[in-house]
Amino acid sequence: MQEQIVILDFGSQYTQVIARRIRECNVYSVIVPYDITAEQLSALAPKGLILSGGPASVYARNAPLPDRAIFDLGVPVLGICYGLQVMAQFLGGKVEPGRKREFGKAKLRVVDSFSPLFANLPEILQVWNSHGDKITKMPHGFKSVAATENSDYAAIENLDRKLFALQFHPEVAHTPQGREILARFVHNICGCQKSWTMRNYVDIAVEAIRQQVGKERVILGLSGGVDSSVAAALLHKAIGRQLTCIFVNNGVLRGREECVVREVFGRHFKMKLQYVDASKRFLTALRRVTDPERKRKIIGRTFIEVFETAAKRAGKAKFLAQGTLYPDVIESVPIGGNPSAMIKSHHNVGGLPKKMRFQLVEPLKCLFKDEVRELGLELGLPREIVLRQPFPGPGLAVRILGEVTPDRLQILRHADTIVVEEMKTTGWYYKIWQSFAVLLPVRSVGVMGDERTYDYTIALRAVESQDGMTADWVKLPPELLERLANRIINEVKGVNRVCLDITSKPPGTIEWE
């Protein structure tokens, strides 16, 4: 069994970050709800436990509290922020509201340089805090190993029982030595090897896929995006020609999209690839449609119809493969009875035919996005695919405001190609979440040479984001913006004005429709 660290989620916005940091130490980690029983935990055979932070106060009436017996499993435990308070309160200490909330950067002074979490680190460390409560009485058998100006108990430990707790957040970038501290916990204290690598994962996943699928056939809807592409490459490695990939040209793809997919998956990987050019059908269905939701519905419905026909043609498949990722399957915790913490809008889940009775194969469902990219490179996929920015399923249709016509598609496709080219040349493409062009239905007056023009407007959108849920606009250098505007106006027939979208999300969305 893969060595693993289990993270109990008390609702912190950083829980997934903890899991990712642990995996960056080449140790596998999973997230479970805080109320998992000690018995269920034992069955996971964790090498160590981490109690995440969370928004609650341990002394509040509805505070989320773990099974008390988890501290008696004999497994090392690290409490972080709220996790520290849980540990303190359960093990005989006392937690009370602090006089001052500690939020943001703080200086941590290590007072016990023999502590296994801090040995050989500088005596003064910069750390990131975010808490209002603090320990006022130490739990039994614990000692303080580090302090901040506000708290004498910023890091505590009970070495005999291998229990450790930190008031600050080691997982965030604002705690520069945080990774080092977490690495010490997983390697030195829990004794984990560096066994979690994408090279090892390929073998594990290939074996698991073969076990699940046996001699049956699998179909996969290939979109050209990172997730379905990596899933395809992995499945192909595992089961070769038992896999059929179906790639639907929905008429609203970016320029050269279908060429890249056919080249990479068909010719290079020699996968069984069914290319379905349904562009006419989609564009006919979209004729005269201007409402964004209707566009999305039409594209979604047409896709299912086309996919169903293609799947039948592919022969009798028992399995449908999907590129579901770990963040989509982690069970959210409704902390303090607040169900809004559970609302997760996700565009990619559940889009495929329900009446087709497939069993699912989801070979990426324990991976984070950065791991999927690494796996893609490991499997030999080109950087052009692995480092792709997200692209919406309804494609350019939701970036053409108003009716989607062949003429407008041509305009946007051309502008989009220029944006991608320039962003890649300058390296910005790889640094940010998304950058693209939007075609507005507005025409305005301009002059080109001696001629008066009356043409369309392109809006440029460039955003940075962690997960697409919130986003901020990117302050691209003026020289790059200038070049984009010049090229688009000079090269794209039908456009005479370029604007920059400087809206964050919320209140805006990333896509315009």
What residues act catalytically? Answer: 81, 169, 171
Phi (first) and psi of residue 447, to 5 degrees:
-125, 135
Pick one of 393, 402, 446, 494: the residue that binds ligand XMP (CB under 6 A): 393
Work out how close the CB of 461 gets to ligand XMP at its nearest, in angstroms, rounded to a whole number.
Answer: 10
Q: Which among 52-60, 138-146, 332-340, 390-398 is the span making contact with ligand XMP, rule CB under 6 A?
A: 390-398
Counting contacts by CB under 6 A, is residue 228 touching ligand XMP?
no
CB nearer to ligand XMP: pick between 336 and 393 = 393
CB nearer to ligand XMP: pick between 67 and 464 = 464
Strand 319-321 vs strand 359-361: parallel, antiparallel, or unpaired?
parallel
Pick one of 10, 311, 394, 484: the residue that binds ligand XMP (CB under 6 A): 394
Counting contacts by CB under 6 A, is residue 505 touching ligand XMP?
yes
Counting contacts by CB under 6 A, is residue 511 touching ligand XMP?
yes
Name beta bridge partners: 104.
129
Strand 218-221 vs strand 319-321: parallel, antiparallel, or unpaired?
parallel
Counting contacts by CB under 6 A, is residue 235 touching ligand XMP?
no
In the window 201-220, what residues touch ligand XMP (CB under 6 A)? Answer: none
Work out how close the CB of 344 gets to ligand XMP at its nearest, in angstroms, rounded to a whole number.
Answer: 12
Work out how close the CB of 512 gets to ligand XMP at its nearest, in angstroms, rounded to a whole number.
Answer: 8
DSSP string, 95-132: EEEEEEEEEEEEEEEES-TT-TTTTTS-SEEEEEEEEE
Work out how close the CB of 503 gets to ligand XMP at its nearest, in angstroms, rounded to a whole number.
Answer: 10
DSSP 505: B
Counting contacts by CB under 6 A, is residue 434 touching ligand XMP?
yes
392 preceded by a cis bond (ω within 30 of 0): no
CB nearer to ligand XMP: pick between 334 and 351 = 351
DSSP string, 222-280: --SSHHHHHHHHHHHHHHGGGEEEEEEE-S-PPTTHHHHHIIIIIIIS--EEEEEE-HH
Q: Which among 256-264, 272-280, 362-370, 386-394 is the span making contact with ligand XMP, rule CB under 6 A?
A: 386-394
Residue 156 CA: distances (Å) to CA of 112, 127, 179, 213, 398: 10, 15, 18, 48, 53
CB nearer to ligand XMP: pick between 187 and 347 = 347
Work out how close the CB of 435 gets to ligand XMP at its nearest, in angstroms, rounded to a whole number.
Answer: 11
Burial 63-100 (b: 16+ CB within 10 A, else e): bbebbeebbeeebbbbbbbbbbbbbbbbbebebeeeee
Phi (first) and psi of residue 291, to 5 degrees:
-75, 125
DSSP 285: H
CB nearer to ligand XMP: pick between 272 and 388 = 388
Counting contacts by CB under 6 A, is residue 116 touching ligand XMP?
no
Q: Which among 75-83, 199-207, 391-399, 484-492 is the span making contact with ligand XMP, rule CB under 6 A?
A: 391-399
In the window 45-74, what residues touch ligand XMP (CB under 6 A)? Answer: none
How much helix, strand and coil, in percent to the nearest 5, is found in the chain? 35, 25, 40
Q: Which among 71-79, 241-249, 385-393, 447-455 is the span making contact with ligand XMP, rule CB under 6 A?
A: 385-393
* C-alpha angle 249-347-227 in degrees, rounded to nearest 5: 65
Work out how close the CB of 229 gets to ligand XMP at its nearest, in angstroms, rounded to a whole number.
Answer: 13
Work out how close the CB of 337 gets to ligand XMP at its nearest, in angstroms, rounded to a whole number.
Answer: 27
Distance CA 491, CA 309 (A): 39
Counting contacts by CB under 6 A, is residue 392 touching ligand XMP?
yes
Distance CA 293, CA 21 (A): 38
Give the count of residues interacting with ligand XMP (CB under 6 A): 12
CB nearer to ligand XMP: pick between 338 and 509 = 509
Residue 264 CA: distances (Å) to CA of 96, 260, 261, 271, 375: 59, 6, 5, 9, 16
In the window 301-360, what residues touch ligand XMP (CB under 6 A)? Answer: 347-348
Which one, of 57, 58, 59, 40, lies nearest residue 49 by Cα? Answer: 40
CB nearer to ligand XMP: pick between 139 and 394 = 394
CB nearer to ligand XMP: pick between 55 and 468 = 468
Work out how close the CB of 464 gets to ligand XMP at its nearest, in angstroms, rounded to a whole number.
Answer: 11
> Two tokens at 21?
């940091």
CB nearer to ligand XMP: pick between 144 and 332 = 332
Pick one of 49, 95, 125, 510: the residue that binds ligand XMP (CB under 6 A): 510
In the window 461-480, what residues touch ligand XMP (CB under 6 A)? Answer: 468
Distance CA 451, CA 513 (A): 33
* C-alpha angle 103-104-106 in degrees, rounded to nearest 5: 100
Distance CA 274, CA 314 (A): 8
Identity at 70, one-letter amino acid code: I
Q: Residue numbers of the site for ligand XMP (CB under 6 A)? A: 347-348, 390, 392-394, 434, 468, 505, 509-511
